[in-house]
Amino acid sequence: MIFDRLENASLYLPVHPGFQEAFAFLSQHAKDELPVGRYEICGSVYAMVQKLPLLTLSQAKWEAHRNYIDIQYIKSGTEVIGFAPVDALEETIRYSSERDIAFYSGDGNYAQVSAGEFMLLFPHDAHKPLLLPRDRGDGEVEKIVVKVKI
């Protein structure tokens, strides 16, 4: 798991060949008003623009992917994202190769992610996104999740 601001994205370009296109898309569209939906970036990278309500701890679920790295960039709002090693959690819903996702239960750590920041999550990083910050009763976040194929 990597947590940083978008202006530091160039530090991570050598980590994976798809990060060049992924971070270029984020940098280009960070301030744009993109409609909610899926955007094809290149053959192995795509983005999903989302506007979603935030959830309580009990409503959110641990998830992990095997074929894609997630770059979860916050355009507006603030959310808390949980993170934990996949092997420290218990799989509760078996992996679906069609959806590239499995769900888990267990405990992890949490980081508050605000506008202009991203969390980069590898297949060994389970994550619990869309959590309400402690000081809020409700809310919404606008984010771009870029999926980079392993």
Full set of structural domains in the chain with CATH: 2-149 (2.60.120.370)
The single-letter DSSP state of residue 55 is: B
* Main-chain phi, psi angles of 144, to 5 degrees: -120, 120
Tokens of residue 122, six digits: 């590898």
pTM: 0.95
The distance from CA 44 to its chain's CA centroid, rounded to whole angstroms, is 17
Digit-by-digit pLDDT tens for the chain (150 residues) are 999 999 999 999 999 999 999 999 999 999 999 999 999 999 999 999 999 999 999 999 999 999 999 999 999 999 999 999 999 999 999 999 999 999 999 999 999 999 999 999 999 999 999 999 987 778 999 999 999 999
Strand 68-76 relative to strand 90-96, pairing: unpaired
Q: Is 8 strand, coil or helix?
A: helix
Tell which residue, 42, 47, 43, has the closest CA to residue 29: 47
